[in-house]
Structure 1
Amino acid sequence: MRGFVWLDKPVPEVRNASSTGLPGIKISANTSGFPYTHGAGSRSALRITRIVSESFRLGLPGARWFVMGDDDTVFFPDNLVDVLSRYDHTQPYYVGNPSESHIQNLIFSYGMAFGGGGFAISRAAAEQLARMQDGCIQRYPALYGSDDRVHACMSELGVPLTRHLGFHQCDLWGDVLGLLGAHPVTPLVTLHHLDFLQPVFPTVKSRTRALRRLFEGPVALDPAAVAQQAVCYDAGKEWTVSVSWGFAVVVVRGVLSPREMETPMRTFLNWYRRADYTAYAFNTRPVARQPCQRPQVYYMRQSRLDRRRNTTVTEYERHRVPPTPCRWRIPDPAALLDRVVVLKKLDPGLWKRAPRRNCCRVVSSPTKGKDRRMTIDVGVCREGEFARV
């Protein structure tokens, strides 16, 4: 993988990029000769649009894909490589995902890869785009951004969007728990707009430090499995358990079906800061249908690899919130459970099989007055195994 930071004018470089491991700096070409008539946008969209063609013209040997992202796009590089390796770069491909916001997609297009979520263009498509992009840009002066100009040119080339649900524009505000706690059964490739979201681990006040915990732990250990969901049940206590590996464990009183648990909780607001569930371009559900089912959330605190058993060990700590009054006889997880330990064997072939959620099994459960810890085993579903309600 090679990368560049593209700017519109030179800046002083304090250190040599090659010695620090940072990407090199490139200056995008002047686009003052192109028309731009959108009243609310910025002409910088023209320069950003042409970076795809300019990257292709660098003549990088062996380059198969050209991947674009904003300056606040977080990439999961191993998963990005894994996803793109499934497609033939000698064929024209345009890979990405629309927004999570229904209104944003109506304004722009459900067929457009949003730039903040990142998108990838195969070498074959980039070569065709480089030949015609300048003329194409001339034809769309009224468009707002760079990503919809790329989409317009792809439409002229007849190359449709290949959707991949792991690219996340994150046109959301608030807590990302609902999105990552029930991630689609597909590799997590990007996150965006993190300045508008709470830190991925709310127990860590800094967004940067929270991301560092994620990347230095689970992402380094087993990137393919990050945020992959597994659903199981503690039958003795009538608890529903949802593991989002490397991120969080959610424990709910009562038995909720896997169909409900795989639907993201509305822990966030939509891009226009309204709590209107019809504004999302995907299904969501309330955080709790009644007070007794308000989930207890355990966020990943540390992770390690047990090399002898080739097993990852991730520990999750309860996020303490004010208690909710409830008269159910089903025990309250907050009263018994402080930590969750998840054991999972490394699985480098996870995405070489047909997509399927992993299964989880409750190995041990806390008892009153004793060890306040639950141990869960996560792994490939055994023959005949499924999430039993």
Structure 2
Amino acid sequence: MFCIAASLKTWKLRKPYIESWWEPNVTRGYVFFEEPPGEEFLPWPAKSPEFRVHEDVTKLDVFTRFNNPIQLRILRSVVETFKEADKDVKWFVMTDDDTVMVVENLLEVLAKYDYRKSYYIGMNSESVKSNVDFTFEMGFGGAGYALTYPLMEAIAEHLEGCLLRYTHLVSSDYIVSACVADLGIDPTFEKGFHQVDLHGDISGLLSAHPNAPFVSIHHMDTTEPIFPSKNRTESIHQLLRAAKLDRTRVLQQTICHHRPSHWSFSISWGYSLQIYESVFPRWLLKRPLETFLPWLPIAKPPFYMFNTRWPFDNPCEAPHAFFAESIKRIHNTEGEDEIVTTYVRKSPRNLQPCPLDGHQSAEPITKVQVFSPTTRNMEISDIGPA
């Protein structure tokens, strides 16, 4: 059951993010607002989650003690979601209205854990500064975090006392992490949740996605569109089309080499493809190209929770960049189903070919097709209770 923190001030802009992955009568939960939607939002569309209005937190005794009362409102929505839940709910997932989720991959990740026990699943930030300012031991709320029913029940029971202890903390997910820690539960980190405390072009990050199911991506309107030829909404739909055809493979990185031409290929399935005019080891290409900027310009290095590579103008090291244009399922001549992803060049590289002996130029290539065997998209029943 989802609890989505939102605001009417930004809902028009962010609604397409939520509607891109929300399935009416399949996904369940609520989007929470600070006040009832006005006429401009009504009638409420069926393709959006049901909305709820937060309780009036100004009447709570603890309200005046909070440094940031907005966070109190978000915290109370967590409890309100629990109160409206049926007993058959196994997991509660908290997230923001500028987050996109692949629900089937979320279910696959959560199915690894026993929902009858207390689990707190999420991921910390990519930004060292964000983790320092809050805590490294936290599932960040933008990326989304999941709580089992027993843990949610315990939080609801002890929330009032927890709020009194942590009025000085500055975010709702930080307070939740403190409350969970007081209950004796540590976070369990899963790499597929992406807070994206970054700015600019995050293609370098997504092109070197870890080999873990892609679950979520946050801060969609504070970064550039992830496909260079599309706007933000179009970009999300393009990525989710790939996830719909093969959610287990989307964004998973494959690295291979064509030694006769001295080329290296790095493929982020359904998203991007890079050709290097040199043979590079896999450990290097698994490091994201630093196409993005730190979340806070005042931060000092190290900026990120992972190693990166600098984008160089050296023609032997700079990749030819291609992005997914289309994806379709075909029936090949051998009678087998395949998925064909077509990647087109982003723009001319504007560099000379790699001058080393035997290294061929990839500049004439404008389009690359990748043929993948179909994998069975597991149904919920295949991956256990969730």
Q: State whether TM-score is above 0.5.
A: yes
Instruction: Report what 2:233 is aligned to.
Output: 208
Contact 1:241–1:250, Cα closer than 8 Å, also in 2: yes
Using the aligned pairs only, state the percent identity: 33
Is 1:22 aligned with 2:51? no
Query: What is the distance in 2 between the residues matched to 1:333 and 1:285?
Result: 21
Report the Cα offset of residue 3 of structure 1. Answer: 2.0
5+ residue gaps, structure 1, are 351-389
- TM-score norm. by structure 1 comes to 0.84
2:260 alignment partner in structure 1: 236
What per-residue deviation string (whole Å, max 9, x for no partner) do you get for residues 118-142 of structure 1? 1011111101111011221111111
- On the 8 A contact 1:36/1:142 being kept in 2, the answer is no
Aligned-partner Cα distance in 2 for 1:136–1:200: 39
Give the structure 2 partner of residue 357 of structure 1.
Answer: none
Q: Write out per-residue CA displacement over residues 83-124 of structure 1, whole angstroms, 9 at most, x where no aligned residue.
A: 111111110011000100001101111101111111011111
Q: TM-score, normalised by structure 2?
A: 0.85
> Which residue does the alignment assign to 1:337?
365
- Which residue is 2:343 aligned to? 316
- What is the deviation of 1:292? 3.0
Are 2:247 and 2:377, in contact at CA under 8 Å, matched by a contact in 1?
no
Residue 66 of structure 1 aligns to a residue whose secondary structure is: strand
User: 2-side partners of 1:241 and 1:212: how far apart?
Assistant: 25
Among residues 153, 162, 168, which one is paired with 1:136 in the alignment? 162
Specify the alignment match of 2:269 in structure 1: 245
Q: Please state how far the C-alpha of 1:176 moved relative to its aligned partner.
A: 1.4
Deviations 1:15-65 (A, max 9, x none): 555x723210112222222245565xx311001112222111113242111
Change (3 A) 1:322 1:312: closer
- Give the equivalent residue in structure 1 for 2:126: 100
The partner residue of 1:302 within 326, 329, 336 is 326
Residues 254-300 of structure 1: per-residue CA shift (max 9 Å, x gap): 11100101111111111113796621011212123834311111100
| 1:170 aligned onto 2:157 | no
Change (3 A) 1:232 1:170: same
Residue identity opposite 1:261 in structure 2: L
Give secondary structure in 2 for the equivalent of 1:113: coil
SS at match of 1:26: strand
Matches within 5 A, 1:351-370: none
Q: Name the SS for the 1:225 alignment partner.
A: coil
Number of residue pairs matched? Answer: 346
The corresponding residue for 1:88 is 114
Residue aligning to 2:89: 63
CA RMSD of aligned residues (A): 2.2
- Long gaps (5+) in structure 2: 1-26, 379-386
Give SS of 1:259's match: helix
Cα contact 1:269–1:275 (8 A) shared by 2: no
Letter in 2 for 1:209: E
Q: Report the alpha carbon displacement of residue 322 of structure 1 after superposing the two structures with TM.
A: 4.7
Q: Relative to structure 1, is the Cα distance of residues 155 and 275 closer, same or farther in structure 2, using a 3 angstrom cutoff?
A: closer
What is the DSSP-based 3-state SS (H/G/I as helix, E as strand, rest coil) of the residue aligned with 1:186? coil
CA gap of 1:36–1:258, structure 2 versus 1, over 3 A, is: farther
